[in-house]
Amino acid sequence: MKKKPRSGYRHLWRCYTRSKLYYPIQIPYLISEEFSDSVRYTEHVVESLQKFVICFWEMHSLSDKAKTVENIIVTDGCIDLVADVNKKQIGFAGMSKTDFHFLMELPGQSMGARFMPGAFYQLTGLCASSAMDDYLPLEKVDGSFDQHAFFSMPLEQARTAFYSYVCRIISGMMPDRFTSLFTVLAADPPETTSELCKMMNYSSRQCQRLFQKHFGITPKMALSIIRFQKCLEILTSGKASPSDVLEAAHYYDQPHFNNDFKRNLGITPLELIARYKKH
């Protein structure tokens, strides 16, 4: 099948850009009714920190009933700092692919800071692959953090301490080229990994190595994540249909788009639109 002409592609893509900064979407409450009935998920943006911290988020159970639910974590290229209050664990973790079966023991409470892709390496000096698709305890990154004191605090005080810690580790820093890259790519993405390498003035081999170090994923995966996240943004904007996504996200046909979307989210684009409108 021949490719469709891209005569309005970049214009349409930019029309659906909500902000200047990359902001991936996590919508567990729309994907799983069990999660929605059992857990409250919220996000809070601090504009002064957004070049490094996309948002702060929290999850807490809606009842004291003991149960296990599955949280669906959508792929976004980010590595979060996560504090599980009940398990008394704090550390870094990211997902290169959507995790449809992340088990949560309830009742429970957790909080996190979602960092820009690339920020983990810039802030810690550690290869991003050490926390992508894995869990890296904070004590192995920063031995000065008093984990015992943190989990001994009342929730409100712990929330303040968590925020203060994040502010401290990014204090005085400016995002480097890689921490800013997803914002650049989301605004005007290359079609292929070859174009991406050329844009960055690296060979394919250099690009592969640098992406693993800074992001914990390959250049191909990065472009796939950006394309998929743009689909989510368009379909939850209330202003578009799946047919709009075909051009904006550069899918060649509807079956290709539906299959790729369901692989990443577990539901079809039309199902997502219906749930979003109902919500």
Instruction: Report the alpha-carbon distance of residue 47 to residue 66 in Å, rounded.
Output: 37
Confidence of residue 173 (pLDDT cuts 50, 70, 90): very high
> What is the pLDDT averaged over residues 144-166?
97
Q: What is the mean pLDDT of the chain?
A: 87
> What is the pLDDT averaged over residues 212-221?
96
pLDDT for res 185: 92
Instruction: Report the alpha-carbon distance of residue 241 to residue 236 in Å, rounded.
Output: 10
Does position 253 have pLDDT exceeding 60, yes or no? yes
In our burial notation (b when 16+ CB lie closer than 10 A, e otherwise), range 166-182 reads beebbeeeebeebbbbb
> What is the pLDDT averaged over residues 39-67?
95
Please give the model's pTM, rounded to 2 decimal places. 0.88
Partners of residue 220 on adjacent β-strands:
none
Does position 18 have pLDDT exceeding 60, yes or no? no
Q: How far is CA 12 from CA 1, 132, 187, 240, in A?
A: 23, 32, 11, 11
Does position 213 have pLDDT exceeding 50, yes or no? yes
Does position 179 have pLDDT exceeding 50, yes or no? yes
Nearest Cα neighbor of 8 from 271, 263, 250 is 250
- Residues of the chain with pLDDT > 90: what percent? 63
pLDDT for res 9: 39
Considering only 118-122, 144-148, 198-202, 256-260, which range has the smallest mean pLDDT? 256-260
pLDDT for res 8: 40
pLDDT for res 250: 59
Instruction: Report the alpha-carbon distance of residue 66 to residue 43 in Å, rounded.
Output: 25
Please give the single-letter amino acid code of residue 214: H
Quick one: three-class SS letters along the chain?
CCCCCCCCHHHHHHHCCCCCCCCCCCCHHHHCHHHHHHEEEEEECCHHHCCCEEEEEEEEECCCCCEEEEEEECCCCCEEEEEECCCCEEEEEECCCCEEEEEEEECCEEEEEEECCCHHHHHHCCCHHHCECCEEEHHHCCCCCCHHHHHHCCHHHHHHHHHHHHHHHHCCCCCCCCCCHHHHHHHCCCCCHHHHHHHHCCCHHHHHHHHHHHCCCCHHHHHHHHHHHHHHHHHCCCCCCHHHHHHHCCCCCHHHHHHHHHHHHCCCHHHHHHHHHHC
